[in-house]
Chains A and B, each alone.
Chain A
Amino acid sequence: MKFLALLRKELTVLSRDRLAVVMILIAPLVMTTVMKLAFGNIGNGTNLPIIPVAVVDLDNGQIGSALVNLLESDALSDLIVVTEVEDLETARDLLETHAVDAVVAAPANLTEAIFSGSGGEAAISVYGDPGQPFAVGVVRGIVQRFTQYVAAGSTSVEVTFQQLIETGRLTEVTHAMKGEVGERAAFAALESDLVSFNEVLSGIESVKSEFNWFKFYALSMASLFILFSMVTAARTLLADHELGTLTRMRTTPTSPGTIFGSKVTGMVLIGLVQTIILMLTARYFMGMTWGDPLAVAVLTIIMVLSAAAFGLAVASFCRSTAQLNVAGAAVVMILGAVGGNFMPRIIYPEIMRTLSLIGPNAWVIEAFQKVVLLNGTLSDITTEILALLGLTVIFSVVALFGLRRLVR
């Protein structure tokens, strides 16, 4: 009864707050519409420029050949154009003269290193033109997918080999034998598993064809504005403090848990409504598909929870609503830039990509891209979900600690 009264009051007050309505409902819809108008016709691979790439195969083994074949395959022909060169020096010359945007180098003994189980020491390198960050990002993405595929194949061989030893079917093992058996098994796997290999190609083709700036920005805006909204909604807590209504509530027979619980529930409801409206608008007015419903639903809930905790944590550092308005906007904008809301994280340098994971938005974008762009399911975004839950806990602890001053 009291909980519902508090919740209803919360929603009524927010609905009559013009700034809140603009930040929570109107701004995200306007931004998404603008993105649709600006980028709606760009994508589906049609408008992406073909990226010139040099490839150096110093391996001269199975893996190096597979890599070159992949880069030269028809599936990628409308995305990259490949020039094979003999050595790294020539490749670097091409890069420095801007003849290519990126160089892919398979190091010597790559195949042997991977089949003998020490693949980590011989990684495929990608060098890029700093002036072409997006092109370099795309090439890096292709190579990463290839590497993941090879690593998965190598691991399955290793597992098979271990099983042979454990079941006693191989009793005396030398390093040479292991390498030989592993190599044969891996070759067999690589040759017999062409279907899987084709899946890598089709996956890249799928990303390429599905990638579209509107989808990227729709996801980015959803993950960015939920942070804005939750910071805005958290203002009500400070506003209650400023108005004296929080103190007055504490003079009524209403428990602090009911008071704060209703606040958080109100924030979560607002976040869900905002996200659902954005999703439905993008779906029915802009033709965007959202992918696996279960994964989208779970991700949306976790996203809103983490954003609500984030909003309260930011509020806990502010002394007034005016301070929160300024500080909240600044923090969200910085987090948006770091977390990849304005440009794909794939083009960020490694250190920035790692740094971006401090905020929930990077995880949300990553997960939504897997679900929406790669047709991923709930199991594909387990890491992101767990990371978001972890951040939710951390933000909640910070918020609880900081907001205690309001009830002193």
Chain B
Amino acid sequence: MKPILQVHELAKQYGDFTAVKGVSFEIGEGEIFSLLGPNGAGKTTTISMLACLLQPSAGEASIAGHSVRREPQAVKRLIGVIPQDIALYPSLSARENLHFWGQLYGLRGKERGQRVEDVLELVGLRERAQDRIEKYSGGMKRRINIAAGLLHRPKIVFMDEPTVGIDPQSRRAILDMVKAFNQQGMAVLYTTHYMEEAEELSDRVGIIDHGELIAAGTQRELTERIGSTETLVLHIDESQDANQLAHALEDLPGVIQSTVTDHQVSLVTPSAREVLAGAFGRAEALGTRVRSIDIQEPNLEAVFLQVTGRALRDN
């Protein structure tokens, strides 16, 4: 697959703090690549550099061969940026907003009019297009926010956590939209801290934490890295000490890793069934009541847990 985006040792430094530490990856034409990581991992900073909003401190990135450092105008014609927060004019209607952003992308006349109607159709808001954005629900605003970044048929779309803080229905609609415009040939760089979204959408996933790209590949490649392990999750009462239990389970035979998230303890193990009895025994000895358990097959959460030593939800 021909790469549309190439990133090589890209870094961003703010004084003594390094936000992004030399990340490298590629995205092929028409591919969906997710950057999965907790808040503050460096996802937004990476996208900002690729969108020519921030000058990299080191490294290089190019879109279809155009350098983000030296040819920002050429890069901006090829990318569509969908910001994390709604970036629209509340007092303008959806259609007025889209025409405005279309003009800034250089679209003219009938072509612009057609594209505006196309993206309104794509996001399912054609019949409400005359309404002002300020009258829209949060989910509808998100959909127009996405539509504004697709008007000029970008080669690659950067989406920075587009589902943060929205209801499940709108989230579902957005994920379906990403698939729909991806099917039209647009590559997608999608950042998220929701493992389920990365799993559902991505052709490949990059795991980023503390500014470093720790692992990248298809989901199969990533889960194979952790071998045939399972994750046993013990849910305990809020009044009880999860840290104490996790500590007590660390040296339980068969447990590779023990971590705490909120009121649950996760154990990475080759066989959940084999450690289950021992885990219950030690919990009972500590006087900790286990309310329920989950056994998870190898997934990105487990991968993140293993490569960072922390659960995604810890952050």
Contacts and interface: CB of A to CB of B under 8 A. Distances in A.
Interface of A: 1-2, 5-6, 9, 12-13, 16-17, 243-245, 247-255
A144 B91 CA distance: 55
Contact of A253 (B53, B77, B89, B100): B77
13 contacts: A1-B103, A5-B103, A6-B104, A12-B91, A16-B91, A243-B90, A245-B87, A245-B88, A247-B83, A248-B101, A251-B76, A253-B104, A254-B104
B103 A244 contact: no
A5 B89 CA distance: 14
Contacts of A13: 89, 91-92
Interface of B: 51-53, 73, 76-77, 79, 81, 83, 85-92, 96, 100-101, 103-106, 108, 148
Contacts of A250: 52-53
B91 A252 contact: no
A17 B76 CA distance: 31
Contacts of B52: 250-251
B78 to A, nearest CB: 9
Contacts of A6: 104
Contact of A243 (B89, B104, B106, B108): B89
Given A12-B92, A13-B89, 14 more contacts: A2-B104, A6-B104, A13-B92, A17-B91, A243-B86, A244-B86, A247-B53, A247-B83, A248-B81, A248-B148, A249-B104, A250-B53, A252-B104, A253-B105
A252 B80 CA distance: 8
Given A13-B91, A17-B91, A247-B87, A252 B101 contact: yes
B73 A244 contact: no
A6 B106 CA distance: 12
B92 A248 contact: no
B51 A251 contact: yes
Contact of A244 (B77, B83, B96): B83
B89 A9 contact: yes
Q: Which of B51, B76, B96, B103 is most buried by chain A, counting CB atoms within 10 A of its CB?
A: B103
B106 A251 contact: no
Contacts of B100: 5, 9
Contacts of A248: 81, 83, 87, 101, 148
Contacts of B89: 9, 13, 243, 245
A5 B148 CA distance: 15
B87 A252 contact: no
A374 to B, nearest CB: 45
Nearest to A246: B87
Nearest to B74: A253
B161 to A, nearest CB: 13
A251 B52 CA distance: 7
Nearest to A243: B87
Given A1-B103, A5-B100, A17-B91, A251 B85 contact: no
A12 B99 CA distance: 13
A2 B105 CA distance: 9
Given A2-B103, A244-B87, A251 B79 contact: yes
Contacts of B88: 243, 245
A5 B96 CA distance: 11
A28 B81 CA distance: 42
Contact of A251 (B81, B86, B103): B81
B143 to A, nearest CB: 16
Given A13-B91, A243-B88, A253-B73, A5 B83 contact: no
A138 B104 CA distance: 58
A359 B108 CA distance: 44
Given A1-B103, A2-B103, A244-B83, A253 B76 contact: yes
A247 B104 CA distance: 13
Given A244-B83, A251-B53, A9 B92 contact: yes
Nearest to A17: B91
